[in-house]
Structure 1
Amino acid sequence: MSQATITAPVALATGAPDDLAAVEGFLARFFDEQVGRAGTHGPSYRQLWSAARDAASGGKRIRPRLLLAAHRAYAGTSGPDPDHAAVAAAAAFELLHTAFLMHDDVIDHDEVRRGRPNVTGRFAAIARAGGANARSARDFGEASAILAGDLLISAAHRLVAGLDVPEARRAALLDLVDECVFLAAAGEHADVRFALEGTPAAGEILAMVEHKTASYSFSAPLQAGALLAGAGGVAVGRLGDIGRDLGVAFQLRDDVLGVFGEEALTGKTAIGDLREGKQTLLVAHASTDASWSVVAGDFGRADLDEARAAAIRSVIVASGALERVERLIAARCRAAVELASASGLPAGLADELAATARACGERDR
């Protein structure tokens, strides 16, 4: 598939508007409280919490949508008011996601996220404005982002630990959150290791994607919503499998957009992953073709220009790598839909997950 055939925009599905508004309200109150609390420890710490609040704003809210959709389906609720415990759990997953993004930006030495300075960038700028040299400013910015991420991971655990639900459900949810952090760290560590060791095998990349993205972004939110509603172990396990397929499809599409996407839509340049030398399934497949040797020396160059980037893209397409990844995205989406249909999910949830699968496969941002 060529760059020109990337599909039109589509919104990720699931989640009632009232539910999402409740999550936004919960997060606003949480950050207002923390910013106010931090103010008693000086203006810089207050700025840190303000930056964390800004980092948590915006985004697709995938995790809250999935969690609340699963909870409504298994709880059998259809009224306008969402369950308070489900809203708090949904907010916890969004805090976890924000924390992982902060830490990921530190690892990647990025100072911009969603087209604006991230926590690292904001505090590095503050340090530079105060007269710090470039190295000291970056150190301060990255230390600030690490601390902000740590605070949000702790807050996510605290929110789940404080849920007013039966003890067995709360314990299961805490185990689920703990596993999310455990797997995400494993995936992130593998991702960094790949940069040292060269192009990994396709199976290694898929395992990294499942750990780093699919587990906490798709599988766990679906499972958490079902657990909160009292669903049984079989249903929770199936939702985990469905989420795994959805998460892999979502991340593989993200990798395609990172090389072939339109910056006006994605909010990030289509040359950044190539300059970084990001080891994706696209690269793993392309690197097995003889034509890769022509562009291999340019892949990962910090000074990569658009002409050389275009040459790399051409090799990815000509080698069949893009087509292979597109086929896998379609297969994972299809597997998620088929499993959702065959799993005896509550009325409406299978349809919502099918819509989410289509969005994961077709999105252009």
Structure 2
Amino acid sequence: MSRKDLEHAFPFVRAASDGRIDHGQLVLVGQEGTHGVRSAGHRSSLARAAAGAPPCRPRTADDRGSRLNSTPVADPLTNSGAPIGIFDSGVGGLTVARAIIDQLPNESILYVGDTAHSPYGPKPIADVRRYTLAVLDDLVAQGVKMIVIACNTASSAMLRDARERYTQALGIPVVEVIQPAVRAAVRQTRNGRVGVIGTVGTIGSKAYDDAFAAAPHLDLFTQACPRFVEFVEAGVTSGAELFDVAEHYLSPLKAAGIDTLVLGCTHYPLMSAAIQYVMGEDVTLVSSAEETAFDVYRTLVKHGIQRTSAAPPVHVYEATGDSQAQFTSLVTRFLGPAVSTVDLVETGTIHLPAKDAIA
């Protein structure tokens, strides 16, 4: 599908003009519903159009400064036809997006991977918080009806901030990935010895330690695996180097005798075969993707915002990074042949607030 064809099919897709994201936006068009990526300058219009709402007025530089440095200016969109916003630092959140699409095939989604700043794991919490809130503000401005933080590092760094900023202030539900994984692990362990692997940021935050505190009868063992995200983002999910690194990271957990291992980063399910091989068949791997999709469903029902339209849903995937080929390859590989066509749309810059500018 050419850019002209895409614009004809989606008249709300136009050239960017407001200058917000300083990297390409990828447009993916597929067969399961409608897949597309829009220019950053009119992403709010596309999301609202998907929900059957009139386009937002164009935003100015003053709007953006106010939105990113205080609270979002966009009206919350609770129309049931609005898309579900899914956010990750890169491609790992596609595992959550895939689970949501599989379990909720009538829902539209708007996925943003902040590949310009990936990986989040080794970055200071203050920076992760700034990057995440900036992108989530943008999702809200685009008119999503729900936010899914499909990133363990971001969830551990600023979940409370997000719920205060969007749920309490605007009525937009926020779903995360840590509690769903913990629930699944508590159910599945047989010997009460559970391991968690994640990024340096996630493990260092003690977010999983806090979450498992509700199950004091379990023994918890955690391990940071910082290079795993690098492998996944490079499209490497097997090979001698990966197995050597995995053996190094996972040996302490094997020695601890765990029978259940939480993949505490949404990138890790994309290399689950290698992790399972190293850990052995007797260890159950727990991914938060399926359980998070259940949480999304429960939240939709609770708020009465399930999409009921008979029209095909709209699935939009965006990345803030500048590598079209890499992101396209990974999305196609992880989501399958439903993603068939990609356009690169030039856009502007995200103006991140100062570290002390976000309350």
TM-score calculated relative to the size of structure 2: 0.27
Which structure: larger Rg?
1
Higher relative contact order (CA 8 A, sep 6+): 2
Greater helix share, structure number: 1
